[in-house]
Structure 1
Amino acid sequence: MNPDIIIIGSGMGGASLAAGLAQTDASILMLERGHQISDTLEAKSPRAVFASDHFLPNETWLDEAGRQFRPGNHYNVGGNSKFYGAVLIRYREQDFGEVEHEDGVSPAWPITYQDLAPWYDQAEALYQVRGTTGQDVCEPGRTFPYPHAPVPDEPSIAEARERLRATGLSPFSLPLGVDIAAWTAKRRTTFDGFPDTRSGKMDAETCGLATARSNPNFELRTNARVVRLEACSNGRIERVVALVNGEEQKFSPKIVVLAAGAIQSAALLLASDVANKSDQVGRNYMNHNASAILAIDPRFNNTSQYQKTFGVNDYYFDDGAGGYPLGNIQLLGRVTGDILRGQIKGVPGFLLDWVSRHAVDFYAITEDLPDPESRVTLEGNQIRLSWKRSNLGPHKRLVRRFARDLKRAGFPIVLNRLFDASVPSHQCGTVRIGRDPALAPLRPDCRAFDHPNLYVVDAGCLPTSAAVNPALSVAAMALRAADTIKHQELGV
């Protein structure tokens, strides 16, 4: 089979691009190395998701020192979006320009927020985002309201929001891709980290691929791992080599779209020795500095089932005293005693249950800056991930500052835990867009400088990480690239 377009990967980038091409006559083959997640007991089990790593592949990567670790990277239909918290928030308008941080400069994008804004609109419609305007202190401009009203706070979370508002902060309703009635009707689990089995979460499978399938010429092939891209003398990618159910197959599409995730896409390009005349493939790897924060008040009873409904951006662009940016705060999905038992060893279960009943759980995010020496490389067939964190000082100050706010709000005990490099949930930057082919592998439209028929549309294309969840920006960039393909490649 030689389709018009091959898309490698079914996550947020690949699925959104396929959705953007759904109304064309192009034949599209999507190759996904994993399978669809089944609606099993494990999909609802805290032990399976958080303790035994039931859904993670049996693979190891190397860290900067050459030590093996098991990464929190998922291979399945829908990619990592099956396990995401469905926060679909736009980068701030200023994030597209140069921003000075304590550890350096977050560089300007080769496009502006206004260039991407129409595609943010389309991405919010595609992923049926629930949200409201006028609450976020640094929200970017927009033409249309959110497609749906925000997910409401449950009573205990409404109390926590009001406590924080009373301290002078400005909590805002998180833009979310979740039908909360459908989600809670089928399970008693919390949200973050649990896979969706096509019942409430708006992810790459339930929205992007569902739209792509309206094209009768679209085909999704699972257990299809792409191992090599081959270029011909004129620079075009002429062959995609994949192992489909263990058997080598070769395809010769007109257009190749790589969307395997920032780390795996970089690894495939490096293994294929393509798209890297700039020597920038795999470089500038970014993964947010992120911490879990538990705010505990023995008088407070958290009765919520789904608590991930608001965030705080008061310290996004400065520390409140004219200093450098600190970042974003948002609620985590409810951290139950069963989840804590999977993460904390040696503490009696009854104590962990008590903590969960009296705690509200937050997630702190600080921007990680691009660094050419923070990179993905290969040692034989094994990925080596050398992450050079930046802005860790501001991140620690964000956590301390918010802990003080929480104590002022009546939560006397505040615990926090920094996520380590084994959790690449916000991976980005390894195949970034730019205007100079000496400094970036991709043009601003996500097309490779070196190969006119190769596009990369996962989070690897993002030049900066900002300090918010990247999923909506990935979807918007992919929809924008789909429009380029329609007009410049397909003549639509």
Structure 2
Amino acid sequence: MADDLIARHWDVIVIGTGIGGGTAGRRLAERGLSVLFVEKGSAGHRAEQTALNLEMVDPVARQIRGFWPSQMKAQVNGRETTFFAPLGSAVGGSSVFYAATLERPERHDLDDCAARPHPTGGWPVSYDNFRPYFEQAEQMYHICGEVDPLSDEASANLRTPPPLSAGDVSMKERLAARGLHPYRLHSAVRYVEGCRECFGAKCPRDCKMDGRSAGVDPALATGKAALLDRCEVRALRGRSGRVTHIEAMRNGKPITLRGTCVVLAAGALSSPRVLLASKAKHWPDGCGNDSGLVGRNLMFHMNEMIAVWPTKAAPSGPSKSLGFRDLYYVAGQRFGMVQAMGIDVSYGEIVHYLKLLIARSPLRRIKPLQELVRIPAIVAARLFGSAKVFVGLMEDLPYAGNRVVLSEGYTDTIRIEYQFSAEVLARRRVFRRLIRRAFAGHRRMFLGFQPELNFGHPCGTLRFGHDPAQSVLTPDCRAHEVENLYVTDASIFPTSFGVNPSLMIAANALRVADLIADEAERRRDGTV
């Protein structure tokens, strides 16, 4: 069966099966194109329930469970650290482990370039052009929640979520009393009977909608799509202006894949690695890299985590239900939304956090400290007990020096270089003051002092735009110099804005898939 898939010429080959690849592949298959999904990891078992484990070190065990097998090497402010990032490597990609929060960006995120203190060139596609695709993505991912009271861009597709817990009702009332505008977060969860809200874990009941359950599986059900798992793409090959074939490894053997069109959706950290590895005589700096920007302008969100204790005797338990946008854009500065994280401040979480702090400090050379953190973790777990954890997602901005770096030879190891700009650090200080003020009246405490990158939200490494000298992709998300290569993951983002990126990824994937399918129809009709 696999040999037949490899030998066939496909209308579209989709590299990656997360939100961007799964969503695009489904739309393309539903529009009648033959689609081959290529996935580095395994198909896995559909009914498994596996939580993302950042402490597991064995690469084989990690690969079996759908985790990225290797540690990331991150040089942040000149200091290199090595750690397991919250990334997936199986059908569904990282999305099978995500917390399923799919929020729309603000209109000014896409349309108001003057509101940004950095000359990014902005988004080349307007909010109104994206609007129908936001609505379609919200339907496809079964989004439930409440309309943001501060928004004039209400979605007509929000499903009614189940009632709030007593603890969340109390928290919502307290926030509203402070003059804030809390609402139910927009979640890609079908609350079927027995649903446990598998935030941070694979869902065995098809409750949570992700790149697999909302994308790949429905695509395969059309009969127009197929899946080739355990297949690592090593390079794109072809002639100047067009990809003719893909070099990959499957089960230790080299294979060649061919298709009319290629959709790259390996994620903002791996898609640029594929292009940088595709050097050839006509692509001396990598495929689609005439601008020299492939891998550059890397962005994350800045996480500001804060523990908030419920007032009086309000029921405890983790919350993933509430968020507010009152701090999104304040006094001419861009920050982001604040939302519940859906986790307890538990012993295991604290141990992991303390180990990361040590790994990023000069104390990392003292190996016994890695185990001694368990003692303060026990004390902290008792202290935090009933606290709920909220996170402020502060918008990052693009700087060319922040980038993905290709390792020598082929390797699973993702390498990045990142420097905190003075602008980001100044804005962060203001954001922390605003968050502290927002939770006044509650006992609260920030869970970090140093700036923290959200390694689950990378974006911007293949940004799209009108100017080929300032972007890698056209507004259609096609490579400026390669006519049959498209990208549908978060690497296309010119800015990160202040919400989770998943809904934008899904909406753009639908938009790009329609562009590809429309062009295929014109070719069939002889009008191209």
> If the length of structure 2 is used for normalisation, what is the TM-score?
0.83
Structure 1 residue 482, shift from structure 2 partner: 0.6
CA distance in 2, matches of 1:418, 1:3: 51
- Correspondence 1:402 to 2:439: no
- Correspondence 1:291 to 2:298: no
Q: 2:300·2:453 contact (CA, 8 Å) conserved in 1?
A: no
Structure 1 residue 231, shift from structure 2 partner: 1.9
User: 2:369 maps to what in 1?
Assistant: none
| Residue type at the aligned position of 1:19 | R
Partner SS state of residue 447, structure 2: strand
Structure 1 residue 25, shift from structure 2 partner: 2.9
- Correspondent of 2:17 among 10, 15, 27: 10
Structure 1 residue 472, shift from structure 2 partner: 0.4
CA distance in 1, matches of 2:114, 2:201: 36
Q: 2:302·2:452 contact (CA, 8 Å) conserved in 1?
A: no
User: 1:27 maps to what in 2?
Assistant: 34
Deviations 1:327-346 (A, max 9, x none): 21001113252443543433
CA distance in 2, matches of 1:120, 1:434: 20
User: 1:346 maps to what in 2?
Assistant: 374
Distance 1:240 1:50, change over 3 A: closer
Structure 1 residue 224, shift from structure 2 partner: 0.6
- Correspondence 1:203 to 2:181: no
User: 2:136 maps to what in 1?
Assistant: 122
| Residue type at the aligned position of 1:127 | Y
- Correspondent of 1:96 among 79, 86, 110: 110
Structure 1 residue 195, shift from structure 2 partner: 2.7
- Correspondence 1:109 to 2:142: no
CA distance in 1, matches of 2:379, 2:300: 32
- Correspondent of 2:83 among 42, 52, 70: 70
CA distance in 2, matches of 1:455, 1:160: 44
CA distance in 2, matches of 1:471, 1:419: 26
Write out aligned runs for 1:183-194 (5 A).
185=194, 187=196, 191-194=198-201
Partner SS state of residue 458, structure 2: coil
User: 1:281 maps to what in 2?
Assistant: 294
| Residue type at the aligned position of 1:316 | Y
- Correspondent of 1:161 among 172, 177, 182: 172
| Residue type at the aligned position of 2:324 | V
Distance 1:75 1:291, change over 3 A: same
Moved more, 3-12 or 371-380: 371-380
Structure 1 residue 490, shift from structure 2 partner: 3.7
Name structure 1 gaps, 5 residues minimum.
none
User: 1:177 maps to what in 2?
Assistant: 188
Structure 1 residue 420, shift from structure 2 partner: 6.7
Cα RMSD of the aligned pairs, angstroms, is 2.5
Name structure 2 gaps, 5 residues minimum.
1-6, 279-285, 355-372
Count, aligned residues = 475
Deviations 1:20-66 (A, max 9, x none): 1122332211100012354798725xxx7254365533323433347
CA distance in 1, matches of 2:12, 2:315: 49
Write out aligned runs for 1:317-328 (5 A).
317-318=329-330, 322-328=331-337
| Residue type at the aligned position of 1:361 | V
Q: 1:21·1:482 contact (CA, 8 Å) conserved in 2?
A: yes
User: 1:316 maps to what in 2?
Assistant: 328
Partner SS state of residue 50, structure 2: helix
User: 1:243 maps to what in 2?
Assistant: 249
Partner SS state of residue 180, structure 1: coil
Moved more, 477-486 or 368-377: 368-377
- Correspondent of 1:268 among 260, 264, 274: 274
Q: 1:71·1:423 contact (CA, 8 Å) conserved in 2?
A: no
| Residue type at the aligned position of 2:219 | A
User: 1:52 maps to what in 2?
Assistant: 56
Q: 2:305·2:391 contact (CA, 8 Å) conserved in 1?
A: yes
User: 1:231 maps to what in 2?
Assistant: 238
User: 1:375 maps to what in 2?
Assistant: 403
Structure 1 residue 373, shift from structure 2 partner: 1.3
| Residue type at the aligned position of 1:317 | Y
- Correspondent of 1:468 among 479, 483, 499: 499
Distance 1:473 1:413, change over 3 A: closer
Distance 1:336 1:179, change over 3 A: farther
- Correspondent of 2:461 among 406, 430, 444: 430
Write out aligned runs for 1:252-267 (5 A).
252-267=258-273
- Correspondence 1:393 to 2:416: no
User: 1:83 maps to what in 2?
Assistant: 97
